A and B are shown apart, each in its own frame.
Chain A
Amino acid sequence: MHSLTADIVLRSLGQVGSTVLAILAGVIVLEAGIYLIFGKLLKHRHTLPIMLLAPAAIGLLALIVYPIIYEIVLSFSNMSLFTFRNPKFGFIYAERNFGDVFTQPVLKLVHFLPVFLRTVLWTTIQVTFHVTLGMILALLLNRPMKLRGLYRTLLIVPWAIPQVVAVLAWRGEFQFEYGFLNIVLRDIGLHGIEWKSSPLWNFVAINITNIWLGVPFMMVILLGGLQSIDRTYYEAAEMDGAGPWRRFRDVTLPLINPVLTPAVILGVIWTTNNFNVPYFINEYNLESSEILVTALFRAAFDYSRFGFAAAFAIVIFLILLVFAIIYIRFSGLESVMGKSVQKPVPAGIGRTAAARRSKGPRGEVRA
């Protein structure tokens, strides 16, 4: 191992610096160009907004839009190990790729439906635990108490650690001989569990790790939502004789809905697309622990089935898109955002409280 000398630092800066300078120079040229053309030549109204948006737009085009288009084109090809340098494109290949996603094994033996159902199970378990535990922790932290800042900081630590580092550390602890989980189990008299080679326990291990990783985010979001609920709603409810459960169900939940619904949608999408946790914890490549995105990665890079994998990726994207659309409609988020006339008046609150408060057309509270 070499120590960090000035020479190494300068060399690294040199390797990175030239790229940074090139990007900086490019942005300057771009802005100057837009200013001169749109501002001076065309005297366009929106020169400034265009100047401000241009670098980001180009970045997004290059890094997101172009790869997606490339992927759609790739799904129309037969690119694999043997047709690596000269893939052929055409509708027939698209038919074959998209057909294979549903009819042929996506890996060696497992088909699309079991992997899809396992992904649904994984997402359901994860989001349920995240929201439940996150809500419990948020409710606990929402009270005035000593050292609240310290508890909050400690509870956010799992989120702050780079995800891959945390997952690899957890993977080490699932090791049969030397991992701390099995050591604790043996100390209390049970046998060690084969976390990595048993299909069931490997799936449990993946779930445990992701719960540890995902709860802080949900807790922080829900805590923010809880703190935005006006105290007077609770006071009014107490005056009307509502107990803690009634207060939670009828005040907290409806008022936290504008925060909870996007959080759940994000949680579902991120969990379904969560690659790091299932991929790394599944060290022995058990096909029974694969979810859609890890199966996609293996199809593309372990088995070099690039055309097929591109079609697979598009299928996953469409599934998530349909889910997001349905969920937003179903959860009434649009109504809360003011699109329709319906307002989510907390049920069971006494008329006095409702009369004292009124909501404007956009849902804001007016005194």
Chain B
Amino acid sequence: MKKVLLVLSMFALATFAAFATGSQEPKAAGPVSLSMWTQESENENSYQYVQSLIAGYTKDHPTVTIHLLQKSTDGLRQDFLTASLAGQAPDFLWTVNDHAGPFTAAGVIQPVDKLFDLSKYVKSALDAVKLDGQEWGVPISNGNQLMLLYNKTLVPTPPQNTDELIKMGQQLTKGGVYGLVFNQVEPFWLVPWLGGFGGKVFADDGKTPTLNTPQMVSTLQFLLDLKYKYQIIPKESDYAAMDSLFKTGKAAMIINGDWSLGEYKKLMGDNLGVANIPKVSATGIWPAPYTSGKFFMLSKDLAGDKLAVVKDFINWATDKDNQLNMVKELTRLPALKVALDDPLITSDPILKGSADQMKVGTPMPTVVQMRAVWDAMKPEMNALLANSETPAAAAAKMQQAAVTGIQNMH
């Protein structure tokens, strides 16, 4: 018995020794292994695009391996914070700009203005990740804005203002087809209309929420009417529902973002039309969707060899050829200035429509208080559209929730 135990202990110690030395092997300019997280989804073909970028880079640089992990947008934010706390954060991210707010507040990413030549990127994209005078992400694409997309077989000419939208919608909503669909769950779809009624989520200091305003009440009333008075939108519709309805031809018009253009174009070809979200007839203002984009963000602990490789990869991934390739694959506007002026964009009606909408958009605030505003608007927007709250009550509750949320952050 004793002999057996001794032999087993020797074996165990030997295994330990092997592991210990194995992990301390000095790495000569040798293999670099990086990990990247992204919130790009398979549905829009964008996750496959990221994979192909990585494959292209590692083909030319065989000593580099990049492990890509996909997460939902909220999941990426939560998990990156938790992973950073545990010291196990991925090396870099490909994500949306409003993640910069919480990540800089928690101190888990590093600024990029000293690491890259940022003058070659579009200013509005850089503004979306500028906090405290520094830029915290490298832009990949520009836009991320909501637009009015329509099925040309059902809607030959798009509505120019909301009165036309309502009239067209009422004519089209019959036999299981809806005139208009949009994501009734996420406040991202509420914001353009707020802009159209002349409202803003933050006061001029960019940090104090202004959600309980007459403009917000008008916006909420407008959305409520779309559903219950004019009845041109479905009773319940989240992202997946609106996407399927539009793709199966059961929705004539949809308000969706530039990330969905690639898929819709593939499915509908020339029958896809792109237009500005219709002007609000009551005020004469174009609705102002939030514009931002997708960005590379670097984990705070990224340094040395790994940082050098990541810089090289990012510079390569945002060079002119790759940017134009991205425009072709994903139908998104590039963040590189020289790519934006390319005839590839100016001559394509869909891209031109997208660029036109972006012109009347407004940069999405990236301050960490924006998180509290999103969290405040979402439940009240849902309650309003479920007809269990009046617009005035919803606006008041939104403001209260946002103020509480911001207080609780400290």
Contact = CB atoms under 8 A, between A and B. Distances in A.
A285 B11 contact: no
Interface string B73-101: 01000100110110000000000000000
Contact of B409 (A18, A32, A81, A175): A81
A84 B8 contact: no
Contacts of B379: 108-109, 284-287
B154 interface: no
Contact of B11 (A28, A197, A287): A28
B285 to A, nearest CB: 29
Interface in B225-261: 234-238, 241, 244-245
Interface stretch (B30-38, B322-330, B352-360, B397-405): B397-405
Interface string B8-35: 1101110110010000000000000000
Interface residues of B, number: 50
A32 B8 contact: yes
A104 B382 CA distance: 23
Interface residues of A, number: 43
A22 B19 contact: yes
A245 interface: no
A209 interface: no
Interface stretch (A120-128, A301-309, A354-362): A301-309
A20 to B, nearest CB: 11
A257 interface: no
Contacts of A173: none
B185 interface: yes
A29 B13 contact: yes
Contacts of B82: 301
A194 B235 contact: yes
A154 B84 CA distance: 45
A105 B401 CA distance: 9
Interface string B364-404: 00001000000110110011011010000000010011001
A230 interface: no
B81 to A, nearest CB: 6
Contacts of A194: 235-236, 386
Given A108-B376, A175-B241, A197-B385, A303 B405 contact: yes
B388 A198 contact: yes
Interface in A240-263: none
Nearest to A31: B5
A320 B8 CA distance: 45
A22 B23 CA distance: 13
A85 B81 CA distance: 11
B16 A25 contact: yes
B399 to A, nearest CB: 11
A284 B2 CA distance: 62
A283 B382 CA distance: 11
B102 interface: yes
Interface of A: 18, 21-22, 24-26, 28-29, 31-32, 35-36, 40, 80-82, 84-85, 104-105, 108-109, 175-178, 192, 194, 196-199, 283-287, 301-305, 308
Which 8 A-B residue pairings sit nearest by Cβ, starting from the closest?
A: A176-B236, A108-B401, A84-B106, A25-B12, A32-B9, A197-B386, A28-B12, A25-B15
